[in-house]
Amino acid sequence: MEQLLVFDVDGTLTGPRRVMHEDFARFFRTVCVSRRVFLVSGSDMAKLAQQLPEFVLEAVAGVFACAGNEFLVAGQAVYRMEHFFPGELTGFVDEFIAASPYPVRCGHHQELRTGTLNVSVVGRNADPVQRAAYFEYDREHGERQALIEAVMDRFPGYEANRGGQISVDISPRGWNKARVCQELSQRFAGAQLVFFGDNIEKGGNDQPLAEAIVAAGEHNRVHPVADHYETWQILQEEYGSAPIPVSATG
């Protein structure tokens, strides 16, 4: 049975919006040589190219960008699912952001991606310290979950999920990472899917894919990970023997 490895990127292969650790990237490439490896991310290819070295992007079998609404093989788009988000929805999001009691605004609060609207109260221009601060605020106050519930209540044709540390991904209902399971199951019938993701809990943008993979067959596996170090450790145990450097950062 062929084994397909599927990886979320932000928080799974890298730190939040950070560059992939150099040693991990070199090891990860060896995994890509021995297995078909696919990446799935809420980000677009431009952001992925900022985080992952070119030799990793060239080694993977394919990339599902923008929460699976765009699929690329060898840098060429296989499909792109475009969507026009109505002004009523984007205006509602603007009102939610303006009403938030969180005191910091860093700019770039809505970003249109292929089939997805990415929203952040603190803003995508936030630096790592500001991102971490908002993440802690959200964990205590549940602001992103409140936005998710408000969007799906007001706009039933859409779904929303937490993305990364600071954002919410909004898309037409059914346009989520679960599409990756459908695509790979059709293209590689009978293969075992093994998924690594850090945002698998309820409301996380990895949850739809994790659930779809489990439902698709008992032979499939899902690895919930806390961060890229845990992903690295699991891969070392299964596909290599070199220890992770104690001083590793990134």
User: DSSP string covering 169-231, please?
Assistant: EEEETT-STHHHHHHHHHHSTTPEEEEEES--STTBTTHHHHHHHHHH-TT-EEEE-SSHHHH
Question: Average model confidence (pLDDT) for the chain?
Answer: 92
Mark whether 75 and 185 lie in a shared domain: yes
* pLDDT of 163 higher than 90: no
Cα(179)–Cα(185) distance, integer angstroms: 10
Residue 14 lies in a domain: yes
How crowded is the C-beta side of 175, counted as CA atoms within 13 Å?
24
Residue 246 lies in a domain: no
- pTM for the full predicted model: 0.86
Mark whether 129 and 200 lie in a shared domain: no
Q: Kindly report, residue by residue over 174-226, the tens digit of the pLDDT.
A: 999 999 999 999 999 999 999 999 988 877 889 999 999 999 999 999 999 99
Mark whether 19 and 62 lie in a shared domain: yes
The domain tally of the chain equals 2
Residue 62 lies in a domain: yes
Task: State percent of the chain over pLDDT 90.
Answer: 85
Residue 247 lies in a domain: no
Task: State percent of the chain over pLDDT 70.
Answer: 96
Cβ atoms of 13 and 28 within 8 Å: the answer is yes
Q: Is 62 helix (H, G, I), strand (E, B) or coil?
A: strand
Residue 143 carries which DSSP code?
H
| pLDDT value for 241 | 52
Residue 245 lies in a domain: no
Domain containing 45 — which CATH number? 3.40.50.1000
Residue 31 lies in a domain: yes
Domain containing 158 — which CATH number? 3.30.1240.20
Is beta strand 3-8 parallel, antiparallel or unpaired with respect to 192-197? parallel
Q: Write out the residue range of the structural domain in which residue 207 sits.
A: 3-81+175-239
Of 97, 98, 101, 168, the C-alpha closest to 141 is 101
Mark whether 153 and 126 lie in a shared domain: yes
pLDDT tier at 246, thresholds 50, 70, 90 = very low
Amino acid sitting at position 51: Q
Q: Kindly report, residue by residue over 91-131, the tens digit of the pLDDT.
A: 999 999 999 999 999 999 999 999 999 999 999 999 999 99
54-81 mean pLDDT:
95
Residue 249 lies in a domain: no
* pLDDT of 140 higher than 80: yes
Residue 185 lies in a domain: yes
